Chain A
Amino acid sequence: MDRTWNNKAWFLVLPVLVLVAFSAIIPLMTVVNYSVQDTFGNNQFFWAGLDWFDDTLHSERFWAALWRNLLFSGIILAIEIPLGIFIALNMPKRGWGVPVCLVLMALPLLIPWNVVGTIWQVFGRVDIGLLGRTLASLGIDYNYVQDPFDAWATIVVMDVWHWTSLVVLLCYAGLVSIPDAYYQAARIDGASRWSVFRFIQLPKMQRVLLIAVLLRFMDSFMIYTEPFVVTGGGPGNETTFLSIDLVKMAIGQFDVGPAAAMSLIYFLIVLLVSYVFYTVMTNVGKGAEQ
């Protein structure tokens, strides 16, 4: 759409600017401020330069948490995106099944995150949980509190349970916007099921997939509440992700300086990876337009 050049539009943006400045810029400045100072309490601060950044970038704890977080995001994207597409492709397109599917599938999205954690904590417990009991009775030695692999599996399955629906709903929205004529033409052309997916459905889903990948990456990279409730970051530090580590450091140990430096690095990583995703996926789209 052609948009006219009008700098008065700034007035329309002003409220957002003021609000976001209050809830984003000031806190961010505070973080930057902390990140370059040291304190021994009593509100006495000393200039520390880039020491905290240096420390953070050389801290094994940080790299371990970052690596765990990247691994986690990678795993859940690799599961949730294909699974979400697959389920969306098999959703009913009309009739009573549509609202039933949509409502039931959207349900996990609106459950408070710590309740999601609680649900899985309870569900997975060997003594009182359906999952834990069932696995135990099948002779599988499952204990998410002590076994790192079980803890990871629980958190990954929980995230799949919690968020795959978002991918499903986004893809479904993309799919229902494809006119029937495309499918009819494909049948006339003798296209296989795979060709229909590859040349009709996937191109039409591209935009919503971009949104799905971005949202899922950002949120999984910031994940805090659910694993905190289920495993508390354990066993050991096996499921301590960046956010958990950060909160531990900032609020638990009140190491404000290192926490702030870590915050900024963390924020930059999210920005960078999101930007890369965004550019790559939109360039794929542009390539298709030429």
Chain B
Amino acid sequence: MSEQDVASGTKAVGRSMTSGKVASLNRTRSTVRLGWLVPTLYILFLMLPLYWLINMSFKTNQEITGAFSLWPRDFTWRNYAVIFSDPSWYSGYINSIIYVVLNTVISLAVALPAAYAFSRYRFLGDKHLFFWLLTNRMAPPAVFALPFFQLYSAFGLIDTHIAVALAHCLFNVPLAVWILEGFMSGVPKEIDETAYIDGYSFPRFFVRIFMPLIASGIGVAAFFCFMFSWVELLLARTLTTTAAKPISAIMTRTVSASGLDWGVLAAAGVLTIIPGALVIYFVRNYIAKGFALGRV
């Protein structure tokens, strides 16, 4: 190889360093890549606060407030024991999960036919209706907190799981319709027509043929509904007092009552992260595809 060739080869090393996708195909130049550093540093940044929370959850309160230590010196399960032995704590988890699941089911059940209508048919006022639905996603929950409280009081729904589930439909239904519509538009219309010719009725076609085709879309929509319902606090706290109080609200209350029990607070925080982590783990293979929301 001539000197010139060597020189141009070295120049290429510098260039291919940053081009992740193409450089990964390369034999000779793949060794000098630094691209992995960026996601690694970012993940480190994400994990530090979480680590600190987990770290605290295994410490005694004396250690938390007294000695500054990067890992628990005096390892203890006490904080978790407090939570699992007190019904007012763990019922919060059950409440949260009940209304989140209720909300996800309701949102999907009503959003599926609507999304189908938007993706397949034109009808009077369809565009306006779609936009109006989306505006509900833009409505600040703070705006609705008070009227929700009065409305649900009037129906006697305050402090029930269904109240929170319905309230969360405000922002989850538009989102679910939006996501599902994207996935459904990706399914060729010929499939519907073939099924009707084969003598399928609409409900049977929808459940037996169409839903399996957009399974990943339903999964993604369910993921988003779960996510936004699980993380929301303002409405959930406003609409519940005791019987349906979500875990995150119980956390804030207990903290203000007992003031300084940092260990239990941290443990409760860690426990609220777990359901989300589990959900992510199960849908990890759909995340990349799903976030494209069906069409890019």
Contacts and interface: CB of A to CB of B under 8 A. Distances in A.
B273 interface: yes
A86 B18 CA distance: 11
Contact of A110 (B36, B38, B266, B280): B280
Interface string B110-136: 110110111111111010010001011
Nearest to A29: B147
- Report whether over half of chain A's contact residues are helix, strand or loop; otherwise say mixed: helix
A168 B151 CA distance: 39
B20 interface: yes
Contact of B116 (A12, A169, A174): A12
Given A129-B52, A224-B141, A172 B252 contact: no
Interface string A108-137: 111111110011101100011111010000
Contacts, number: 309
A111 B106 contact: no
Nearest to A264: B143
A40 interface: no
Interface residues of B, number: 106
> How extensive is the interface on chain A, given as a class?
35 or more
A106 B143 CA distance: 28
A16 B114 contact: yes
Interface of A: 1-10, 12-13, 15-17, 19-20, 22-24, 26-28, 30-31, 34, 86-87, 89-94, 97-99, 101-115, 118-120, 122-123, 127-131, 133, 161, 164-165, 168-170, 172-174, 176-177, 180, 183-184, 187, 192-193, 196, 204, 207-208, 211, 218, 221-222, 224-225, 229, 242-244, 246-247, 250-251, 256, 259, 263-264, 266-267, 270-271, 274
17 contacts: A13-B113, A15-B110, A15-B113, A20-B174, A22-B166, A30-B150, A87-B39, A101-B43, A106-B280, A110-B275, A130-B48, A173-B293, A177-B296, A187-B22, A204-B296, A221-B140, A271-B135
